[in-house]
Structure 1
């Protein structure tokens, strides 16, 4: 899989078990290898968060960087889901986007704020397989 400079990047919390499940889900369903990944604990993840106005030491947002534009929260998730090949993810994306942004963001941030309590936390970041490693930024 080759990645262009303009490949969309998903910045995620590498020690959050829910976030790691999201990345595993994308690795399985993004069969074309469209997305690259950066843990917010990594240098590249921290820099992307800072450059898009997010605090890397207190992040409650997932960040999607696509064509130099940053998208956060449920909007970022919906944008990713709509690009996956299976139709059911397009439907879920449309459902998410049907709610007003303010409601989407409140719901997303509630889950994000309590993600460790609800889903757990790992002592280390998600470790990709050797085949997946090229999709992860340092």
Structure 2
């Protein structure tokens, strides 16, 4: 079940970098804006299908804002940063750069994420205290 007013982050559940990023976001999401699901989960696939999202544009992160639309790649990362506590919202200044440039950098990291950070055999299982934040459980 998706709570009203929450934004959904779909992520690569077997990617160590992506799992670390989700833990990082959870720690800094002081307003509890985000809910999470892996791209590989039934809920992740359902959300992608319902919105007719071109999966060729996806590789590690997708932000679904039910009131707006969805964001992927560098735009998703920067839109997420805008909502975090601390100085992270300042990163949104990079939205002034053209998407093709931001995504070029993003794609380099995404393409090499398994080689640089490793990969799990299965999707992460949230701890009991975090389980309510994951919509694919």
| CA shift for structure 1 position 85 | 2.1
Q: What is aligned with 1:114?
A: 112
Report how many residues are paired: 133
| TM-score, with structure 2 as normaliser | 0.88
CA contact (8 A) 1:39 1:45 kept: yes
Change in 2 beyond 3 A, CA 1:117/1:111: same
Q: What is aligned with 2:7?
A: 8
Stretches of structure 1 that go unaligned for 5 or more consecutive residues are none
CA contact (8 A) 2:7 2:35 kept: yes
1:15-71 deviation per Cα after TM superposition (whole angstroms, max 9, x unaligned)? 000000010001111022110001011111112233242328x94141100025110
Stretches of structure 2 that go unaligned for 5 or more consecutive residues are none
User: What SS class does the counterpart of residue 40 from structure 2 fall into?
Assistant: coil
In 1, the alpha carbon distance for the partners of 2:135 and 2:52 equals 17
CA contact (8 A) 1:29 1:85 kept: yes
